[in-house]
Amino acid sequence: MSTASERSFLVRAHRLVADLQKPTEWIYWVDFVVSLIVGYGGATLFFASPLGSWLQVVSFLVAGFALYRLGSFIHEIAHFRKQEMRWFRIVWDLAAGIPLLTPSFFYENHRDHHNARRYGTELDGEYLPLGNGAVRDIALFFLQVFVQPIAVVIRFLLAPLTFLHPRLRRWTLRRASSFVIDFHYSRPISDQPTPRWWTFMDLACSARAWGIFIAMAVGFTDWTRLPQLYALATFVLGVNYIRTLAAHRYLGDGRRMSHEQQLSDSTTITGVPIWTELLCPLGMRYHALHHMFPGIPYHNLGKAHRRLIAQLPADSPYHATVYPSWFAVVSELWTQVNQSSSTVSAKKRRSATFGGA
């Protein structure tokens, strides 16, 4: 598609969804409160249930998916304009971000993922070229699920020490204060004083992390609470990583992509309503649409998707992003990875043959 055709396509698509850009606040609040009650209620029941009982298993799953949805609001918050839904942002941080050790300022780097100059490059911490890699790269990708909760807890336990020197604090904000899948990512941080809200959330999360261990030390909770918390954290993070694996085709090679290339590298999953909503809450199944128009609130993405499907030509770039299920996306990724591995192996064999000739 030429630059002019791409621009024409985006203009037409924007006209179709222009009235869907404004968030409806009550939907956010109701969804947030219900997710919080179900998530914390399920977690409380999980901690109190007999080990290995059906009640514990069911409450674990209920708590896990509800907390996953609750935590996913951090993505919506990252896209709020300055001062937009300010009280929702504050209450979410106090009620969810701090207790779950997921403060919203840890995800402000998400804007790099939507920056046309950074998407898919080393400046994008939420992207790995998995489609052009090897099977071991996907294995290492999922290994993060088991390492990240431990790393986050240690990060917050040590948080007060990071204020001892400005250089140490800046290093911590750059290299250890972002939720990413590329651990080489370095977050751009200016030399200007950081927001006081960041400092408050950092120290509050530190108090929360220390509180877990202090409660066990004084006998307020049993030592079994620690593996239970770890199990919940890895479950929530694991589901998110499963979803993330199908959010893109991951065919980038580290170079900048055009808007059309970014769109074609992203996916839209129609799927089965209940399962897909559990796996991709808050409209995350419409990831390609989200990359086209990041400002559309999650509750309008389904409506926007239906309009685009109905009114854009069947050969439009947007139609090409649609997959019937998570499995369809991952199956394509797996095929691409195997082809990439075979190509690399063939090149190595040819190199070895000619080198020994």
Mean pLDDT of 95-105: 97
Helices 326-356 and 135-157, packing angle to 10 deg: 110
Give the pLDDT of residue 91.
Answer: 98
| CA–CA gap between residue 74 and residue 175 (Å, rounded) | 19
The confidence score (pLDDT) of residue 82 equals 84
| Averaged confidence pLDDT in the chain | 91
Average pLDDT of span 257-284? 91
Predicted confidence band of residue 193 (pLDDT cuts 50, 70, 90) = confident
Q: Note if the pTM is more than 0.85.
A: yes
Q: What are the boundaries of each domain within the chain?
A: 3-311
Q: What is the pLDDT of residue 348?
A: 44
Let me know: does 69 contact 282? Beta carbons within 8 Å: yes
Q: What is the pLDDT of residue 2?
A: 53
Judge whether residue 4 has pLDDT over 80: no
- Predicted local confidence at residue 260, as pLDDT: 83
CA distances from 212 to 136, 154, 156, 218, 225 (A): 35, 12, 12, 11, 9
